[in-house]
Amino acid sequence: MTHSTFGGGGGNAPEVSDVYVVAIYDPKTGKILHTHNVTVFKGGRSVTEKEALDTAFARASDAGHQTDNLKSTVSKNPQHGRSPHKIDLATGQFIPVPAKRPLPRQLSERKDS
């Protein structure tokens, strides 16, 4: 039987055996500055949490973030990497935040381009 942690009816997808969502965030505000998602499929190469963290910090640095003073937290819930969140500074947990919607002017500018 095949199963996807991500849901949907995309066909005969391989089974997901492990998931890491690494959030790199500002420890003063909880704002997530970079997210790194790792999905391991059954039969694929395993990935350790340390490898996921190391890769997340490397990619954040590659993207221009100064990572020396940033913190990280890891979730096994793939939904945490699919919608906006912040980190609760007291608990280290992912907290959903509303998605930003474009202003009406920004929408009309998109239609013109």
Residue 27 has pLDDT above 80, yes or no: yes
Which pLDDT does position 3 carry in this prediction? 46
The residue ranges of every structural domain in the chain are 16-112
Q: Give mean pLDDT, residues 82-89.
A: 96
Helix/strand/coil for 50: helix
Confidence of residue 109 (pLDDT cuts 50, 70, 90): low
Phi-psi group of 11: left, alpha or beta (phi > 0 → left; psi -120 to 50 → alpha; rest → beta): left
Dist. CA 14–CA 5, nearest whole Å: 10
Residue ranges of alpha helices (H) inside 1-113 are 49-62, 104-112
Query: pLDDT digit string (tens) for 41-68?
Result: 999 999 999 999 999 999 999 999 999 9
Residue 7 has pLDDT above 80, yes or no: no
Residue 84 has pLDDT above 60, yes or no: yes
Of all helices (H) and strands (E), which one includes residue 94? strand 94-96
Dist. CA 41–CA 18, nearest whole Å: 7
Residue 4 has pLDDT above 70, yes or no: no
Q: Are 57 and 44 in contact (CB under 8 A)?
A: no
**Dihedral sign for Cα atoms in the order 51, 56, 36, 67:** positive
Mean pLDDT of the chain: 88
Which pLDDT does position 1 carry in this prediction? 41
Residue 83 has pLDDT above 70, yes or no: yes
